[in-house]
Structure 1
Amino acid sequence: MNTEALKYPIGKFEMPETISEKDLQEAITILELFPEQLRLLTAHLPEKTLQQPYRAEGWTIKQLIHHIADSHHHSYIRFKWALTEDNPTIKAYNEKTWAALEDSDTMSISWSLMHLEAIHYKMTYLLKSFTKEQWERTFQHPDKEMLTTLKENALIYAWHSRHHFAHIKNALDTMEG
């Protein structure tokens, strides 16, 4: 498998020109199901497997699981900021340095799996309550020129869930093969 396919096993994220109600419902469903799917895929894995990189020059599976929890926690906060402030500039963070912290290497994945379950429940509960106007609310990422709508953020994190699930699934399939 080539490097690009290993980095982007489901392809790079592509924002549709128009985000439909169907797109939003699909994103919410993905976000609802993801924590359980990730738990089923990873909760039984031995430490030796969790310490394996999901691809060459990539994080370990354990670091990746902790990264997903950290990233999706940020996403939830971004939704809340955009709902309560006008076009807030969000706080960016360095994913690589976060993943290199001791907790991402030594802490049990069970904590991040539980965190994902809680944060996704709260996130999808919130998303299901959005009005059309709330979906259009925006935030500013300091590293991007364009504002991000909450519609876009929902689709990005549904993709992010599927993207990293595929990383782990592919790594496990390769290890078994």
Structure 2
Amino acid sequence: MNSVHLSNSEYAPFYSDYIKALGEVDLRKVLKSSLKDLNKTIKNLPEEKLLFKYAEGKWTIKELLQHIIDTERILSYRALRFSRNDASDLPGFDENWYVANSNGNERSITDLLDEFKFVRKSTLALFKSFTSEMFTKTGTANGSDMTVRALGFIIAGHQTHHLNIIKERYL
């Protein structure tokens, strides 16, 4: 899918910073390049850095990575359902509850990065399978209407957002 300008009506306002941070990009290219960027940034960090929290109540890098993985799975699932004309209002999820129950800090960084690569490759395959018509289909999640293509950009923007946080506050 070539770069597109998404209308504000294609996604919930909550996601606007993620989408705007990407600018005009090709969705598949940014999903591929951001996979490499994240891997390169954190793969060789020492364990103490991976378990560091820059403030009380904040997540570690391992927890952030698990959060990115979980969120990408959920958003990809939404895209699949919307592309198939599923009219169900899909529920939201509590990201803090997911992280608290993820066991992310007990996993090795290699394991987490491997899982992230597999999830991203699955996301890429899913979005490659969508027709132009499927990209414009709309569904409802957490009470907000979104298009399939907006979900792809949200996935990329969400990961980019958290990678920037890692670079600014953890490294």
Query: Which of the five TM-score ranges fits, normalised by the shorter chain?
Result: 0.7 to 0.9
The offset of 1:150, in angstroms, is 0.7
Name the SS for the 2:44 alignment partner.
coil
Could you say what secondary structure the match of 1:53 adopts?
coil
Matched residue pairs, number? 155
- Specify whether residues 140 and 54 from structure 1 end up closer, same or farther in structure 2 by C-alpha distance, changes over 3 A only: farther
Q: Which residue of 2 aligns with 1:4?
A: none
Contact 1:88 1:140 in 2 (8 A): yes
Give the 3-state SS of the residue equivalent to 2:48 in structure 1.
helix
Unaligned runs of 5+ in 2: 1-15
Q: Secondary structure at the match of 1:87?
A: coil
The AA in structure 1 aligned to 2:146 is T
TM-superposed CA distance for 1:54, in Å, is 4.8
Determine if contact 1:63/1:104 at 8 Å carries over to the other structure: yes
Q: Which residue of 2 aligns with 1:164?
A: 162
Aligned partners of 2:34, 2:54: CA distance in 1, in Å?
18
Instruction: Report 1:19-38 matches (<5 A).
Output: 23=24, 26-38=26-38
Matched, 1:53 2:53: yes
Task: Establish whether residue 42 from structure 1 lines up as the match of residue 42 from structure 2.
Answer: yes
Q: Say what the alpha-carbon RMSD is for the aligned residues.
A: 2.4
Taking only the aligned residue pairs, the percentage that are identical comes to 24
Counterpart amino acid of residue 140 in structure 2: Q
| Aligned partner (choices 132, 147, 150) of residue 149 of structure 1 | 147
Equivalent residues of 1:34, 1:161 under 8 A apart = yes
Give secondary structure in 2 for the equivalent of 1:148: strand
Query: Aligned pair in 2 of structure 1 residues 102, 12: CA closer, same or farther (>3 Å)?
Result: closer
Distance, in Å, in 2 between the alignment partners of 1:106 and 1:137 is: 39
TM-score by length of 1: 0.76
**Structure 1 residue aligned with 2:117:** 117
Distance 1:26 1:162, change over 3 A: same
Tell me, what secondary structure is at the counterpart of 2:75? helix
